[in-house]
Amino acid sequence: MPTRTFASTLAQPAPRPLIAAIRRSLTTMPWLLAAGFCLSANAADSANAGPVPSAPVQALEEVEVRASVEQSAITEAPVQAELDITQPQSVIGLDYISNHTAPTADYASIAAIAPGVTSISTAGPGLGEAKQVTLRGFNDNQYNVTYDGIPFGDTNDFSHHTSSYFPAKMIGQITVDRGPGGAGQIGEATFGGTMALRSKDARDEFSFIPTFSYGSYDTSLTHLEVNSGRIEQLNGGKFIASAQYNETDTALTDSPMRRTTTYIKYVQPIGTDTEITFLSNYNKIHFNNPDKTTLTQLQINTLGRDFGLNQDPKSTDCACYNFQDKETDLEYLGLSSKLSDAWRIDNKAYTYAYDNNSHESPYVGTKTSPTNMGGFNKINKYRAWGDVLQATYTDEHGQFRTGGWYEYTGNTRYSVALDYGLGGIHDVKPGKPDSIAYKYTMVDFVHTYQLFAEYEWRATDALSITPGVKRLSFTRDIEAPINQGTKLPLYFSHTSDKTLGSLSANYLLTSEWSVYGQAAQGFLAPNLNQFYVKDPGLNRAKPQQTMNYQFGTVYKTDRFNADADIYAIDYRNFPILGTDPVTHDDIYALAKGAKMKGIEGEATYYLGKGLSLNANASLIDAKFKLSSLRMPNIPSSTAALGVSYDQDGFFASLTEKYSGGQRVYNGGFNPDNYSSVKATSRSDGFWRAALGFGYGQNLSGSFIKSYKLRLQLDNLFDAKQQVADSIKGTDTYYLVLPGRSWFASLSLGL
């Protein structure tokens, strides 16, 4: 009978072309993956060298040139799941991040290799804020993003700024959890799942690794990394510190960006059973932000596919009126201690901040002069303070986990009108005597806490069953002398709370094959925009909720590595703007929600001699309950096909990613009423190819200990693609994807 192991450290979510034919094959790919799984099982049994246990939490140390290691489907897979999971998962490792993505990449462009994930960057990979970053049909503000287990994001709508925190070189691993997780999963948006980023770890030996990159759009990137190695005088303490500077013109005209990032992580052992970790990440970025982030087809035809901004001070598209400065940081102090043979405690006290100073929305004609240029200065500034605690008790019957999470955030927000001819604040527009300079000004305070408990019962050596419960409370306090939308004062407090349950199980059929199932509730706290009304007390909106049911299987051998799952989600409490029948004021009401279901799979087959094949796919069926309309801005499917090679210092990969067709509707449509749709548009699905290759070598008897050269080409076939993003009036506005790009890099180990 196969046996299962219990991880003792659980303070953070950790891992354990071609057109018609391909489009037809896309719909059958999940079944092909399943068939391949069955057909390969016996062959893999004979080719495999024994059981593959669940992976423990491993050190994420980036090595420029890997030493000779035994290669397999497990070591070469770009995405994979672990045998002991209880919800669908894709783990993206450090080798893929460092060798097969653009050096400028952000977490969204990396995660897009996983099934069910999409990301669009109109400026180039990691060179601007990613758009339409979806996870299994959920948009960016409907799932969590965490860093070493700490959730971060905007307080107003829980969305994320992909280029504003962690560049690829500061990421050691990404785990895409497709589901709300168990009781211990924290965050304001457990609703749709989690993208869990892990930081890089320090090496045990001293090293200095400079990396220099140059490529398309006159993009340069310099990254300097220092590893202290184990410091024996400090009981084996060690740190990794790095600094990065990235400057680029981006793929869009007159829309440059420059960014500076610093990172340090220090780990200090205390005795043999305790470890303290300090981490700090700081990011400063300046970029010109196009006023036209999306374009109509007429604008694309007349201005060009790469249009962003211009240098004409009489134009609202002048770079002089469209720019942003941002600063972000995240710090934590972590404690992990084995208190006894049974008890372990893990705690992280943290803070993170976001400071955005934006000049945007320019227009012609101010109160002073009909020819003066006006615009708005928007400030969005917040700092969060929080703590995550988990205590774990493990014995021969299973593992009990309990703990809590608390976070407090203060968010200052305002938008004030400017007259660039005068160089200062002015009333909004001429001919409106009641207008004022401030569009809105407010302070938003958010208090969140969660208490949880779950027990992973080891029913047999092969079967574990985990029931869990958590209590989540979310309070928003608003102090708004001028509320957004209404321009009226608002002083209001609102609390949403909910007790959520989860039940999951995992069964090891063999030491190489497991099945699992989960039923779990998800929660999404109310968006700040639900309070942009005269009297939020009249709102009928409630927290958005999901009920998730999913079942899957994982198979792992040295030759073949695969997992697949099916899911069904009941999405409730979809908020829509309505009118109060008595006061006739705007209020937020509820639509019935949506039904979401699908199938997902991923697989890697190792051919031998460094060569492997990989594929993944997902089918997403997401429709509103009453109207049967497809949910907007969600692809109907995703897929990826790839081949990779890694042998004797040479490495290469060729990957094609498919994002399925999607729909958009006119603004303000009611998802419960089909007739409320006055305009609709759709985008066809599209493929994008990426090619990466390089060579690295370790050297002896030289000041340079190793070197690595690599070249990454994105959109290899220079496809001209665009994706419908919204409808305004009768016009469809598109996100225009950039053409082919290349980035060359040199890394040295000193």
Does the structure show a pLDDT above 60 at 589?
A: yes
What phi and psi, each to the nearest 5 degrees, are found at residue 295? -130, 145
Task: Pick the more confident residue, 1 or 602.
Answer: 602
Quote the domain boundaries for residue 256. 20-60+82-749
Mean pLDDT on 285-294: 87
pLDDT tens figures, 223-249: 999 999 999 999 999 999 999 999 999
Contact in structure between 437 and 427 (CB atoms under 8 Å): yes
Amino acid at 402: T
pLDDT recorded at residue 442: 94
- Average pLDDT for the chain: 88
Q: Which two tokens stand for residue 162?
A: 């992909």
pLDDT recorded at residue 120: 93
Residue 13 lies in a domain: no
Task: Pick the more confident residue, 44 or 520.
Answer: 520
- Calpha distance 402→423 (Å, rounded): 56
Global pTM? 0.89
pLDDT tens figures, 54-93: 334 566 777 666 666 678 999 999 999 999 999 999 999 9
pLDDT tens figures, 595-616: 999 999 999 999 999 999 999 9
Residue 741 lies in a domain: yes
Does the structure show a pLDDT above 50 at 34?
A: no
Task: Pick the more confident residue, 241 or 671.
Answer: 241
pLDDT recorded at residue 427: 61
Helix/strand/coil for 234:
helix
Residue 2 lies in a domain: no
Does the structure show a pLDDT above 50 at 354?
A: yes
| CATH number of the domain that residue 243 is part of | 2.40.170.20
Residue 232 lies in a domain: yes
Does the structure show a pLDDT above 80 at 674?
A: yes
Q: To which H or E segment does residue 326 belong? A: strand 323-338
Q: In percent, how much of the chain has pLDDT > 90? A: 74
pLDDT recorded at residue 433: 43
- Per the structure, the count of domains in the chain is 1
Residue 396 lies in a domain: yes
Task: Pick the more confident residue, 625 or 18.
Answer: 625
Contact in structure between 326 and 354 (CB atoms under 8 Å): yes
pLDDT tens figures, 165-177: 899 999 999 999 9
Does the structure show a pLDDT above 60 at 12?
A: no
Does the structure show a pLDDT above 90 at 50?
A: no
- Calpha distance 594→627 (Å, rounded): 10
What phi and psi, each to the nearest 5 degrees, are found at residue 92? -110, 115
pLDDT recorded at residue 534: 87
pLDDT recorded at residue 38: 37
pLDDT recorded at residue 57: 53
Residue 72 lies in a domain: no
Contact in structure between 556 and 504 (CB atoms under 8 Å): no
pLDDT tens figures, 411-457: 999 999 999 888 777 765 554 544 578 899 999 999 999 999 999 99
Q: Which of 707, 690, 678 is nearest to 742 (CA)?
A: 690
pLDDT recorded at residue 59: 66
Residue 129 lies in a domain: yes
Question: How many other CB atoms are found less than 10 A from the CB of residue 697?
Answer: 14
pLDDT recorded at residue 700: 87
- Calpha distance 155→476 (Å, rounded): 10
- Calpha distance 709→81 (Å, rounded): 30
Q: Where are the beta strands (DSSP E) in 483-610?
A: 490-510, 513-524, 544-556, 560-572, 574-579, 586-591, 594-608
- Calpha distance 370→577 (Å, rounded): 35
Q: Which of 411, 440, 416 is nearest to 427 (CA)?
A: 416
Contact in structure between 614 and 606 (CB atoms under 8 Å): no
Q: Where are the beta strands (DSSP E) in 634-730?
A: 637-647, 650-659, 662-665, 680-683, 686-698, 706-714, 722-728
Mean pLDDT on 627-633: 92
Task: Pick the more confident residue, 652 or 434.
Answer: 652
Does the structure show a pLDDT above 90 at 291?
A: no
Residue 355 sits at the vertex; the CA angle it makes with 353 and 361, to the nearest 5 degrees, is 145
- Calpha distance 152→331 (Å, rounded): 11
What CA–CA distances, in Å, run from 576 to 334, 498, 541, 587, 672? 41, 21, 8, 9, 10
- 208-237 residues labelled b (16+ CB within 10 A) or e (exposed): ebebebebbbebbbebbbbbbebeeeeeeb
Q: Which residues, 6 or more positions from 476, have their beta carbon under 8 angstroms from its beta carbon?
A: 444, 445, 446, 493, 494, 495, 525, 526, 528, 531
* HSE of 151, CA atoms in CB hemisphere, 13 A: 26
Does the structure show a pLDDT above 90 at 22?
A: no
Does the structure show a pLDDT above 60 at 161?
A: yes
Q: Which of 650, 550, 560 is nearest to 600 (CA)?
A: 550
Residue 1 lies in a domain: no
Contact in structure between 322 and 342 (CB atoms under 8 Å): no
Helix/strand/coil for 264:
strand
Rg of the chain over CA atoms, in angstroms? Answer: 26
pLDDT recorded at residue 428: 55
